[in-house]
Amino acid sequence: THTFNNVGWITDTHGISAIVSQALEYKSQLVVGCGDYEGKVKAAYYLAQKGVNVVFPGDRFEYQLIGYKGEGVLMGTAPVKRVDGVPVIGHQPVSFSLSELIVAEDTTERYPTQYYDAAARYFRQLSKFVRLNVKYVLVDDENQLDKVLEQACSVVAVRIRTDKEDATLRQWLLSSPKNRAILFHSGLYPWAQGLFADFPSQVTFGDLRPRFQ
């Protein structure tokens, strides 16, 4: 555990489930860790019931938390920025029509490619609550983003893991202001924050409390 003035952080390499007791003991306002498995997101949910905010950039299993209730805020991959001089995580809404085609990346491969199914997991779960128009595109390795974009109209849900994927998505976003991307399991890597910052009206994240109007 490290502290500096009124900021404290706990170094851990295994996920939210490994830091629950410390988070409560030290009355943490925010914890950041991995949410790539069931036990880890269950731990995040438990902390939310205790009023602790949790961010898990590795968000493969965040789909299990869609519509959660709790005093704490839960977020997966999300922008980190300043708004009017105040540090903010999230706060980047992008609108979609329920009838729009959403092309979501998916995979049936095992580690380390398995994380490319994060977007598909999210939208399969969300589709249980609201009627959506989603097409799932299988990849079997990294750097196959073209397969997803080739099937897209203007909305994709993807993981950005490499510099090639980052460059490919940027080119697609620049080709039309109507093109939008939802990022999943991408916050662990160097490119997500740049995409959020450079395309604030086009790039967003998998909201666990989505709003429908």
pTM of the predicted model, to two decimals? 0.91
**Domains of the chain by residue range:** 2-76, 101-205
* Cα–Cα distance, 77 to 61 (Å, whole number): 12
pLDDT classification of 213: cutoffs 50, 70, 90: confident
Tell me which amino acid residue 176 is. S
Contact yes or no for 105/139 (Cβ under 8 A) = yes
Spatial neighbors of 145 by CB under 8 A, at least 6 apart, are 105, 139, 158, 160, 164, 165, 168, 169
For the record, the structure tokens of 55 come out as 């961010």
- pLDDT, tens digit (0-9, with 9 covering 90-100), for 14-59: 689 988 999 899 899 999 999 999 999 999 999 999 999 999 999 9
Tell me which amino acid residue 80 is. V
